[in-house]
Chains A and B, each alone.
Chain A
Amino acid sequence: MDRLTGIKRFAGVLVGGALLLFTTGAISETAVTEGSKAAGLDTCVAPTADIRRNHMDYLKHDRDLTVRKGIRETQYSLAECVECHAEKDDSGAYKPVNAEGQFCSSCHNYVAVSLSCFQCHRKTPELKSGSDTAMNQGGDFNVESLGLLQSLDKPVSLSRDELVRLHATVKGD
């Protein structure tokens, strides 16, 4: 009798596991868009399953840290979502992450959740050489804002994006 229950349980776990694999596999095919930075990365800022389930709570928690307490180096930030998950079109311009079929909207449309983040937040990564970025005023590269010990007359060879990424690596170690 005990043995039979054991087998049943084992079978249950197997079926459950297969179902889980199948469903997560099915989702992962549609979620991360090809041509986005995220497509080339192994994992999100936390295990993918965790992010899928809890990203809204993480983002809400960290947005309060950032807005209310001025803590900018949070693990979860919407700007980082956009930075990684925005896909480029043929001309090399970023598509908005909430556009039809793009990363954010593909899931949220499926589960019928309306996204209000992008009524206020930027939908594409900021262009590094663009004229309308906060850090690029009138062509001056603001070294101080990046905390680099480099002289102004010596041009910085790394892009802001690369610096951010480098910083993340250093911190992670």
Chain B
Amino acid sequence: MSCNSDQPDMNRRGFLGKTVVAATAAVVAPGIMLTVAKASSEEGASSAVRWGMLIDTNKCADGCSACVDACNKENGIDLMQRPEGQADEMWNAQRPQWVRKVKLRDKQTGEVSNLPMMCQHCEHPPCVDVCPTGASFKRADGIVMVDRHTCIGCRYCMMACPYKARSFIHQDVAEQLTGAPRGKGCVESCNLCAGRIDAGNSTTACQDACNRDGHQAILFGDLKNPDSEIAKALKTESSHQIRADLELNTGVRYTNI
């Protein structure tokens, strides 16, 4: 990074500004601070950021399902009840899954690697291309998600997705979380914990769970900010997009596969 430019360093200014605001707010009243901290969600998703993930498959432990469990809990997937009389096989095939563990084995060497697979939040998402109603869309900050209000449940997006990342809700849902509406007849997938991010949080549920278990395989952050941890890691380590040949420019990338 060059320090010789006569232009002011806007990152530094921004940081100083925020620090002063935060310090003032903390001194004035805790109530005021709430407004300051939540100011970002009034502006909404900004194209100045692009959220993404870097997953270190070496650190992803075999048999661990912390990220999957945390995701199910965060997004109310665990509140879904199996319909009466439905067979195990059918239930496991049809229940929604936003993130799933995938195990890869090299046929020649027998080397096994594990990785969590979810919506890859493509820059050019095929699911958005094929959606007939515009329900499948990409937010300004790069998060690909489904607007259930316009989703007609045709499942074209599920066919188009190369990552098998989307789920369809086949049954009536009795209970949901306020932050994760869910009902019969709509497609859904990982939204990088959009609600948490909009609330000013800087981590996803799966990342928190992975860190809590001491694996630290998941790194979430802003790909466009050169000072973010994820951008630095991407710069120094060799990472891969899955199905890079499709040129989708995925937001989720993997190292050591």
Which residues of B (189-214) have their CB < 8 Å from a CB of A?
194-202, 205, 208
Q: Which among B38, B44, B175, B180 is the interface contact of A134 at CB below 8 angstroms? A: B180
Interface string of B122-163 (1 = CB under 8 A from A): 000000000000000101110001011100000000000000
* Contact indicator A145/B147 (Cβ below 8 Å): no
Complex: how many Å from CA A12 to CA B212? Answer: 71
* Contact indicator B74/A134 (Cβ below 8 Å): yes
Complex: how many Å from CA A169 to CA B30? Answer: 13
- Number of B residues, CB within 8 Å of A: 56
Complex: how many Å from CA A149 to CA B36? Answer: 11
* Contact indicator A166/B31 (Cβ below 8 Å): yes
Which residues of A (63-79) have their CB < 8 Å from a CB of B?
63-65, 67-73, 79
B12 → A minimal CB distance (Å) = 22
Q: Which among A63, A72, A166 is the interface contact of B195 at CB below 8 angstroms? A: A72
* Contact indicator A72/B199 (Cβ below 8 Å): yes
Cβ of A133 < 8 Å from any Cβ of B? yes
Which residues of A (56-94) have their CB < 8 Å from a CB of B?
63-65, 67-73, 79, 82
* Contact indicator B34/A149 (Cβ below 8 Å): no
* Contact indicator B79/A73 (Cβ below 8 Å): no
* Contact indicator B178/A147 (Cβ below 8 Å): no
* Contact indicator B36/A147 (Cβ below 8 Å): yes
* Contact indicator B173/A120 (Cβ below 8 Å): yes
* Contact indicator A147/B37 (Cβ below 8 Å): yes
* Contact indicator A67/B147 (Cβ below 8 Å): yes
Cβ of B42 < 8 Å from any Cβ of A? yes
Closest to B194 in A: A70
Complex: how many Å from CA A71 to CA B38? Answer: 10
Cβ of A18 < 8 Å from any Cβ of B? no
- Number of A residues, CB within 8 Å of B: 36
Q: Which among A72, A134, A150 is the interface contact of B76 at CB below 8 angstroms? A: A134
Cβ of B228 < 8 Å from any Cβ of A? no
* Contact indicator A72/B181 (Cβ below 8 Å): no
A132-B177, A134-B180, A170-B31 given as contacts; is B139 within 8 A of A69 (CB)?
yes
Which residues of B (38-96) have their CB < 8 Å from a CB of A?
38, 41-45, 70, 73-76, 78-79
Q: Which among A134, A137, A170 is the interface contact of B178 at CB below 8 angstroms? A: A134
Closest to A144 in B: B201
A150 CB contacts on chain B under 8 angstroms: 30
* Contact indicator B30/A69 (Cβ below 8 Å): no
Cβ of B218 < 8 Å from any Cβ of A? no
B26 → A minimal CB distance (Å) = 5
A120-B176, A121-B176 given as contacts; is B41 within 8 A of A70 (CB)?
yes
B32 CB contacts on chain A under 8 angstroms: 170
* Contact indicator A145/B201 (Cβ below 8 Å): yes
Which residues of A (131-151) have their CB < 8 Å from a CB of B?
132-134, 137, 142, 144-150
* Contact indicator A134/B179 (Cβ below 8 Å): yes
A149 CB contacts on chain B under 8 angstroms: 22, 25-26, 30, 33
The residues of A with any CB-CB pair to B shorter than 8 Å are 63-65, 67-73, 79, 82, 119-122, 125-126, 132-134, 137, 142, 144-150, 163, 166-167, 169-171
Q: A122-B178, A144-B201, A170-B35 are in contact. List 14 more A-B contacts (CB 8 A).
A: A71-B43, A72-B199, A73-B41, A82-B178, A119-B173, A119-B183, A132-B78, A133-B177, A137-B205, A145-B200, A146-B34, A147-B38, A149-B30, A170-B34
The residues of B with any CB-CB pair to A shorter than 8 Å are 22, 25-26, 30-38, 41-45, 70, 73-76, 78-79, 137, 139-141, 145, 147-149, 172-173, 175-184, 186, 194-202, 205, 208
Q: List 13 A-B contacts (CB under 8 A).
A: A64-B147, A67-B145, A69-B139, A69-B140, A70-B44, A70-B140, A70-B141, A121-B176, A134-B178, A134-B179, A134-B195, A148-B34, A167-B34
